[in-house]
Copies of this chain bind each other. A is one copy, B any other.
Amino acid sequence: MNTFGTILTLTTFGESHGPAMGGILDGMPPKVHIDINEVLRHLSRRRPGQKQAGVSQRNETDMPEILSGLTADGLTLGTPIGFIVRNRDARPADYEGYSGKFRPNHADYTYYNKYGIHDFRGGGRASARETVSWVVAGSIARQWLDTLGITIKAEYVETNNAADVAATGDSTGGKVKCVVRGVPIGVGEPVFDKLQSRLAAAMMSINATKAFEYGDGTKSSGMLGSDSLDLFAYPYAPAKPTLTNHSGGIQGGISNGMPICFTVHFKPTPTLMRRVESIDSNGEKCIIEPRGRHDACVAIRAVPVVESMAALVIADLMLLRNRY
Binding site for B on A (CB under 8 A): 1-4, 7, 9, 11-15, 18-24, 26-27, 29-31, 65, 67-69, 71, 75, 77-82, 84, 102, 104-107, 109-111, 113-119, 123-126, 130, 159-160, 165, 170-175, 185-186, 188-194, 196-205, 209-218, 220-232, 234-236, 241-242, 246-248, 251-256, 265-272, 274, 276-279, 283, 285, 299, 319-324
Contacts and interface: CB of A to CB of B under 8 A. Distances in A.
Nearest to A271: B225
A221 B173 CA distance: 4
A191 to B, nearest CB: 6
A82 B80 contact: no
9 nearest A-B pairs in the assembled complex, by CB-CB distance: A107-B252, A13-B82, A171-B225, A225-B268, A211-B213, A110-B254, A1-B189, A29-B324, A114-B186
Nearest to A319: B323
A221 B210 contact: yes
A130 B222 contact: no
Contacts of A30: 115-117, 324
Given A105-B246, A204-B200, A252-B106, A13 B231 contact: no
Given A171-B226, A210-B217, 20 more contacts: A1-B192, A7-B323, A11-B11, A19-B65, A22-B24, A31-B115, A77-B115, A79-B124, A105-B247, A107-B190, A110-B185, A110-B255, A110-B256, A113-B185, A170-B224, A171-B224, A204-B212, A210-B214, A210-B221, A246-B267
A13 B68 contact: yes
B11 A24 contact: yes
28 contacts: A1-B320, A2-B24, A2-B192, A3-B3, A11-B80, A12-B24, A13-B82, A22-B67, A24-B24, A30-B115, A30-B117, A68-B125, A107-B190, A109-B251, A110-B256, A111-B190, A114-B254, A126-B191, A192-B205, A197-B200, A197-B201, A197-B204, A210-B214, A211-B217, A212-B213, A213-B218, A234-B279, A234-B285
Contacts of A199: 204
Contact of A268 (B23, B224, B235, B266): B224
B69 A222 contact: no
A82 B79 contact: no
A23 to B, nearest CB: 8
A232 B279 contact: yes
Contacts of A84: 67, 82, 84
A211 B214 contact: yes
Nearest to A14: B68
B210 A251 contact: no
A78 B323 CA distance: 12
